[in-house]
Structure 1
Amino acid sequence: MKALEVRQLNTYYGKSHILKGVDLDVGEGELVTLLGRNGAGKSTTLRSIMGLTPARAGSVRVFGQESTHLAPFRVARLGVGLVPEGRRIFANLTVEENLKVPVDQPGPWNIPKVYRLFPRLAERKAHKGKQLSGGEQEMLSIARVLLLNPKLLLLDEPSQGLAPLIVKQVFDVIVAARNAGTAVLLIEQNVRAAIGVADRAYVLDRGAITYSGQAAEFGQDEQRVQELAGASAQKWDFPDDD
């Protein structure tokens, strides 16, 4: 059974046709990245999957269950966790309090394990969200969703605005989630970093899928990477931790 099946998704904002027949799949325990330039429709795809911006046509199935027209909280109940763009943490709660907000769900993730994965959060657990750096806020945003023990994790631009070393730490966590059995759909503009960790890749351009295949294969097509990433298409080498 696939974790996610999206078929011929068409989504509008008013009269503007944003998604035009989008098809994509995420297998159980698979890390898939959706790439594209700004305005391509990547975030709208996540919003349509989550029910935040309902599709006008097409279908979404989560673990075999039709979810196209479900309210977002019902989609979440199917085992879907969303890490939105913008690190929406509780600014006036401490790290520890933020982590206690999610209702406990059975699964591999708990607060002690999250602290082992993000030692920086353990060090800062008494600090309020507004006192954290951008990278620490991103870590907290991901950690909070992991505590829901989702079976499908959706991430919207987790590397945005982060230093390379922090990007490495965040992507290590995404891989750890996949290795723990969580299916992952990663929306990213950092093309090199995304294809370095993903199993498969899709490219979205002007609301339509223009590439679907193995991430490593896409990474070898230098012309396509350059066209997609432009000035950020240089080879991505994750920095050493030391």
Structure 2
Amino acid sequence: MIALRADAIHAFYGKSHILHGVSLEVREGEIVALLGRNGAGKTTTLRCLIGLTRPRTGSVALFGADVTGFPPYRIAEAGVGYVPEGRRIFANLTVDENLLVPVERPGPWTVKRVYEAFPRLAERRTNKGGQLSGGEQEMLSIARALILNPKLLMLDEPSQGLAPLIVEDVFRIVVAARREGVSVLLVEQNVRAAVEIADRAYVLDDGRIVYEGDARTFGADEKRVRELAGASAEKWDMDG
């Protein structure tokens, strides 16, 4: 079954045309990476999918149901967990208190399970969110989304500003979530790390999808990976 399908999304900020017919899909039980340089339109795509920005045209479907134009709370109710760029945790609440903000839903992810998966958070459970390192804040943001036991998890640049070892820790949890049956859409600039865990990848440039296919195949093509920072808005042919 298709967990998420976006079809021909066009999005504008005022008169600026940001997304030009973006189409992508996430199948149940897979990790899909949405890659692209800074300013390519990745966050706008995610905002359209989660209901924060309404597409001008095009459609979004979750688990076969049309949710185009739904507000974020209805997208969340449909089984989507969202980890925004910049973490957005509650700096004045403790780790424990941050994890009590979402309403727990039945499923494998509980506060206890989160602390087992993130021992760093368990050690700092009485610390305020603002006292955590960037990596710990990212872990807390992901943990808070997992407690909703989503069927689909969307993450916006989870590796941003993190040391490589911390990125490994964070991505290990993403893989663990997939093993529990969670589908994942991972928006990333860190191509190397993303293709290591993703099943498939899309590359976005200037608001257009310029590549879609197997993530590891893409990651193995050094030339294409290097080109990513300045990708031209032409469809990439992995055989060419």
Query: TM-score when scaled to structure 1?
Result: 0.94
Q: Over residues 33-63 of structure 1, what are the superposed CA-to-partner deviations in whole Å (9 max), with x where a residue is unaligned?
A: 0000010000000000011010000000000
Q: What is the CA distance between 1:188 and its match in structure 2?
A: 0.4
Q: What is the CA distance between 1:180 and its match in structure 2?
A: 0.8
Q: Is the 8 A contact 1:189 1:229 kept in 2?
A: no
Q: Which amino acid aligns with 2:57?
A: A
- Structure 2 counterpart SS, 1:145: helix
Q: Which residue of 2 aligns with 1:205?
A: 205
Q: Which residue of 2 aligns with 1:139?
A: 139
Provide the C-alpha distance between the structure 2 equivalents of 1:220 and 1:154, rounded to a whole number of angstroms. Answer: 25
4+ residue runs over 6 A deviation:
none
Q: Is the 8 A contact 1:191 1:229 kept in 2?
A: no
- Structure 2 counterpart SS, 1:154: strand
Q: Which residue of 1 aligns with 2:19?
A: 19
What count of residue pairs does the alignment treat as equivalent? Answer: 230
Residue 63 (structure 2) pairs with residue 60 (structure 1) = no
Provide the C-alpha distance between the structure 1 equivalents of 2:229 and 2:167, rounded to a whole number of angstroms. Answer: 17
Q: Which amino acid aligns with 1:135?
A: G
Aligned Cα root-mean-square deviation (Å): 0.8
Q: How does 1:1-242 map to 2 (within 5 A)?
A: 1-229=1-229
What residue ranges of structure 2 are gaps of 5+ in the alignment? 231-240
The share of aligned pairs that are identical, in percent, is 67
Provide the C-alpha distance between the structure 2 equivalents of 1:72 and 1:130, rounded to a whole number of angstroms. Answer: 26
Provide the C-alpha distance between the structure 2 equivalents of 1:119 and 1:159, rounded to a whole number of angstroms. Answer: 19
Q: Is the 8 A contact 1:35 1:187 kept in 2?
A: yes
What residue ranges of structure 1 are gaps of 5+ in the alignment? 231-242
- Structure 2 counterpart SS, 1:177: helix
Query: TM-score when scaled to structure 2?
Result: 0.95
- Structure 1 counterpart SS, 2:112: helix
Provide the C-alpha distance between the structure 2 equivalents of 1:22 and 1:113, rounded to a whole number of angstroms. Answer: 36
Q: Is the 8 A contact 1:192 1:219 kept in 2?
A: yes
Provide the C-alpha distance between the structure 1 equivalents of 2:229 and 2:33, rounded to a whole number of angstroms. Answer: 14
Q: Over residues 68-92 of structure 1, what are the superposed CA-to-partner deviations in whole Å (9 max), with x where a residue is unaligned?
A: 1111111111001110001101111
